[in-house]
Chains A and B, each alone.
Chain A
Amino acid sequence: MKRKITMAVLILLFLLLQSTLCQKIAVASIKPNLLIILIVSFGLMRGRRSGMLIGFFCGLFADIFFESIMGFNAIIYMWVGYLSGYFYRIFYDDDIKTPLFLISISDLAYGIIHYCFRFLLRGRIQFFGYLGRIILPEVFYTLIVTIICYRILYMINQKLSLSDNRGVDSLV
Chain B
Amino acid sequence: MKKKMNEQLKNKYILATLSALCVLLIVVSFLDSSVIAPVKQVSGFLITPVQKGINGFGSWLSGLTDNFEDAQTLRAENEELQAKVDSLTEENSQLVQDREELRRLRTLYELDEQYDEYEKVGARVIAKEPGNWFQLFTIDKGSQDGIEPDMNVISGGGLVGIVTETGPNWSTVRAIIDDNSNVSAMISTTSDQCIIAGDLRLIDEGSLNLIQLTDVDNKVHVGDKVVTSYISEKFLPGILVGYINELNNDANNLTKSGYITPVVDFRHVQEVLVILEKKVYVPSDSKSVQSQTDSTSANPADAGTTSGADEDTGIEPLNDENTGAEPEG
Measured CB to CB, the residues of A under 8 A from B are: 15-24, 28-31, 33, 35, 48-49, 52-53, 56, 59, 61-66, 68-72, 74-75, 78-79, 82, 114-115, 118-119, 122, 124, 126, 129-130, 133-134, 138, 171
Min CB distance A132 to B, Å, is: 10
Bound CA span A61–B138, Å: 15
B155-181 interface with A by 8 A CB criterion: 164, 172, 179-180
Is B132 a contact of A30 with CB atoms below 8 Å?
yes
Task: Report if A71-B24 is in contact (Cβ < 8 Å); known contacts: A22-B130, A30-B132, A78-B19.
Answer: yes
Is A64 a contact of B43 with CB atoms below 8 Å?
yes
Q: CB of B267 within 8 A of chain A?
A: yes
Residues of A close to B47: CB separation below 8 A:
16, 65
Is B29 a contact of A35 with CB atoms below 8 Å?
no
- From A22, A31, A52, B18 is in contact (CB under 8 Å) with A52
Enumerate 21 A-B pairs (CB-CB under 8 Å) in ascending A order: A16-B47, A19-B128, A20-B51, A24-B58, A29-B203, A30-B132, A31-B130, A33-B131, A49-B11, A49-B14, A62-B130, A64-B40, A65-B47, A65-B130, A71-B22, A71-B26, A75-B23, A79-B15, A130-B200, A134-B133, A171-B7
Report whether over half of chain B's contact residues are helix, strand or loop; otherwise say mixed: helix
Q: CB of B1 within 8 A of chain A?
A: no
Residues of B close to A22: CB separation below 8 A:
130
Residues of B close to A171: CB separation below 8 A:
7
Residues of A close to B204: CB separation below 8 A:
28, 133
A18-B130, A66-B129 are known; give 4 further A-B pairs, CB within 8 A.
Answer: A24-B58, A29-B203, A65-B127, A134-B133
Residues of B close to A65: CB separation below 8 A:
40, 43-44, 47, 127, 130, 138
Bound CA span A170–B288, Å: 61
Residue of A nearest to B3 (CB): A171
Is B130 a contact of A69 with CB atoms below 8 Å?
no
Bound CA span A170–B93, Å: 77
Residue of B nearest to A24 (CB): B58
